[in-house]
Structure 1
Amino acid sequence: MSRTLPPPPPRNSQRGDRHDDKKRRLRRGHIGHSSNRSQLDEDLESMFSSLTIDNIPAEANSGDCGMDRKRKSYKDQAGVENMISSLAIQEAAVTNSVYRGQRKKFSDLILDDRKILAKGNSDCNDPGSRSLRSKEFIEGINDLLLRHQGSGVRYFAVHFDLNSTHAVYLDKWVQFASKSDAKYVTLHLCENGISCSRHSVTASRYNFPLHCFGDGRGSLLRKLSLTNCIFSTPVHSSGFSSLVQLSLRRVTTADSDIQNIFSCFPVLRDLKLQCCEDLVNIRISHETLLELHISCCQKLKSINIHSISLDIFEYDGHQVQIKYESTPSMRRIAIKFVDRNCSLPDDLLAMERLKKVTLWFLSPSEEPSFILHAKTFTVLQLVSLSILPSWNNVLAVAYLVKATPSVKRLHLEACSGEHHYLDNVQVDWPEHISLKKLRTILVGGFAAQAPLVELLAYLSRVATRLKLLEISPHHHRYKDSGRCVSEDVGVEAAWDHARNAARATIGLKLQSTVKFVVK
Structure 2
Amino acid sequence: MARCRHYDNNAAPPPSSLPSVNGGGAARGDRRTKRPRACEEDDDCIGRLPDDVLIAIVSRLTIRDAVWRHLWKHAPRISLRPSHLVGDVAGIPSALRDNVARLAAAASSVLRHHSGAGLDRLVLALPLSPSTHGAVLDQSVEFAASAGARELHLSLAGGDHVEQHYDFPHWRFAGGQLRRLVLSDVGLEHQRGLDGLAQLTQLDLTRHPRRLRGPHRPRAQGVPPARPRGRLTGRPALESIAIESTTLLEFAYRGHKVGITYRHAPAVVRLIVMLVPASASECPLDCVASGAALPKLKQLFLQFPSPLQIQQLQLHHGRRFERLSQIVLFFKTPWREREHVASVASLLVAAPSVKELRVEAYSDLPAVPPQKKQTIQWPRHCSPKKLESIVLGGFSGEPELMELAFFLSQKSPAIRTLTVNALGEILTMKRLGLLGAGANNNNAIDDARRELDRFFDDIVDVKNFPALRDLFPAARELSDEELLAGRLP
Shorter-chain TM-score range: 0.5 to 0.7
Q: What is the correspondence of 1:261-410 to structure 2 with a 5 Å cutoff?
A: 278-298=237-257, 300-304=258-262, 306-317=264-275, 318-319=282-283, 321-322=286-287, 323-324=289-290, 325-343=292-310, 345-346=315-316, 348-349=318-319, 352-359=322-329, 388=335, 390-397=337-344
SS at match of 2:242: strand
In the aligned structure 2, how far is the partner of 1:440 from the partner of 1:94?
A: 44
Q: Give the aligned partner of residue 423 of structure 1.
A: 371
CA contact (8 A) 1:235 1:260 kept: no
Partners of 2:362 and 2:332 in 1: how far apart?
8
The answer on whether the counterparts of 1:226 and 1:248 sit within 8 Å (CA) in structure 2 is: yes
Q: Which amino acid aligns with 2:106?
A: G
Cα deviation, 1:197-256, whole Å, max 9, x if unaligned, reads xx5524423343334333xxx32333333323333234336444443333332385526x
C-alpha displacement of 1:174: 2.9
The answer for the alignment partner of 2:161 in structure 1 is 201
- CA RMSD in angstroms comes to 4.8
Counterpart residue number, 1:116: 85
Equivalent pairs counted in the alignment come to: 376
Q: In structure 2, what is the Cα distance between the partners aligned to 1:227 and 1:459? A: 38
Question: Is 1:134–2:81 an aligned residue pair?
Answer: no
Listed as ranges, the matches of 1:393-472 within 5 Å are 393-397=340-344, 411=358, 413-419=360-366, 422-425=370-373, 427=375, 429=377, 435=383, 437=385, 442-452=391-401, 462-463=410-411, 470=418, 472=420
Partner of 1:212: 172
Instruction: Report Cα offsets for 1:262-311 as digits up to 9, x if no partner.
Output: 9xxxxxxxxxxxxx95322322232232222222135x245445422222
Give the Cα–Cα distance (whole angstroms) in 2 for the partners of residues 338 and 241 of structure 1. 34
**Structure 1 pair 421–287 and aligned structure 2 pair: CA distance change class (3 A):** farther
Q: Contact between 2:349 and 2:384, CA under 8 Å: does it hold in 1?
A: no
Give CA-to-partner distance per residue, 1:82-117, whole Å, 9 cap, x none: xxxxxxxxxxx9776344654xxx543323334433
Amino acid at match of 2:205: L
TM-score, length of structure 2 as denominator length: 0.60
Secondary structure (helix, strand or coil) at the match of 1:235 reads coil
Structure 2 match to 1:244: 201
| Residue 139 (structure 2) aligns with | 172
Q: TM-score, normalised by structure 1?
A: 0.57
Change in Cα spacing, 1:115 to 1:311, as seen in structure 2 (3 Å) is closer
The answer to whether structure 1 residue 229 and structure 2 residue 198 are counterparts is no
Letter aligned with residue 324 of structure 2 = L
CA distance in structure 2 between the aligned counterparts of 1:403 and 1:478, rounded to whole angstroms: 33
- Report 1:476-487 matches (<5 A): none
Percentage identity across aligned positions?
22
Task: Quote how far apart the aligned CAs of 1:507 are.
Answer: 0.8
- Using the alignment, how far apart are the partners of 1:351 and 1:506 within structure 2? 31
Letter in 2 for 1:245: Q
| Distance in 1 separating the partners of 2:460 and 2:369 | 25
Cα distance in 2 between the residues matched to 1:411 and 1:122: 33
Do 2:202 and 2:249's aligned partners in 1 also have CA atoms closer than 8 Å? no
Alpha-carbon distance change, 339 to 302 in structure 1, aligned in 2, over 3 angstroms: farther
Name the structure with the higher helix share. Answer: 1
Aligned match of 2:452: 502
Alignment correspondent of 1:97: 69
How far 1:183 sits from its partner (Å)? Answer: 3.1
Q: Which has the larger radius of gyration?
A: 1
Deviations 1:337-393, CA, capped at 9 Å, x for gaps: 3145243621642655333334467776xxxxxxxxxxxxxxxxxxxxxxx384222
Check conservation: 1:185, 1:225, Cα contact below 8 A: yes
2:260 aligned with 1:260: no
Contact 1:234 1:260 survives alignment (8 Å) = no
Quick one: structure 1 residues 277 and 427, their matched pair in 2 at CA, closer, same or farther if it must change by over 3 Å? same
Contact 1:389–1:449 at 8 Å: present in 2 too?
A: no
2:50 paired residue number: none
Amino acid at match of 1:290: L
Aligned to 1:10: none
SS in 1 for 2:453: helix
Unaligned 5+ residue runs, structure 2? 1-34, 42-64, 209-217, 228-234, 276-281, 429-433, 476-487
Cα 1:254–1:205 change in 2 (3 A) is closer
Compute the displacement of 1:492 (Å): 6.3
Give the match's secondary structure for 1:314: strand
Match of residue 55 from structure 1: none
* Deviations 1:456-493, CA, capped at 9 Å, x for gaps: 56566x5495866747461579999xxxxx96745466
Question: Residue 125 of structure 1 aligns to a residue in which SS?
Answer: helix
- Does structure 2 retain, via aligned residues, the 8 Å contact 1:457–1:509? yes
1:259–1:189 distance in 2 versus 1, CA, 3 Å = closer
Indicate how the Cα distance of structure 1 residues 389 and 442 shifts in structure 2: closer, same or farther if over 3 A, else same.
farther
Deviations 1:156-184 (A, max 9, x none): 33232211211133323433333333333
